Amino acid sequence: MKHRHYAPKTKCQLIYSKDDQDLIFEMNKRIKKYRGDVVVIGFTEHKRDIVVSESRFIDVGSKDNLEGFAKNIYSILRRADHIKAQIILIEGVEISGLGVAIMNRLLRTCEYDYTEI
């Protein structure tokens, strides 16, 4: 129970890469694997490159401004869960500064289903 404290009912996967192109490639590969039945929680900078319908992309703002993401993380997860997809793919952040707290919450949400590329 302690590990799923932050988790929606829908299975989640957390993906992080310092390289934007690698991240986008991996996200699109997984979207294809799940035949588009996904919700993506991601950053504004990647919205146009991640191949998922607009209604299934939850924009958390700029990756250079994590305060909004941190402040709204629980409402974002609930919103993603309400879409009723097969899986929620979550774009991770660098583990430094505020990113430490965000990634801690997201790792628990995803039950440590985490890929770093």
Give the domain ranges of the chain: 2-116
Chain center to CA of 5: 17
CATH architecture of 2-116: 3-Layer(aba) Sandwich (3.40)
Full pLDDT tens readout for the chain, 117 residues: 444 555 689 999 999 999 999 999 999 999 999 999 999 999 999 999 999 999 999 999 999 999 999 999 999 999 999 999 999 999 999 999 999 999 999 999 999 999 999
Q: Measured in Å, how far apart are the chain's first and last C-alpha atoms?
A: 28
Whole-prediction pTM value?
Answer: 0.92
The whole-angstrom separation of Cα 65 and Cα 61 is 7
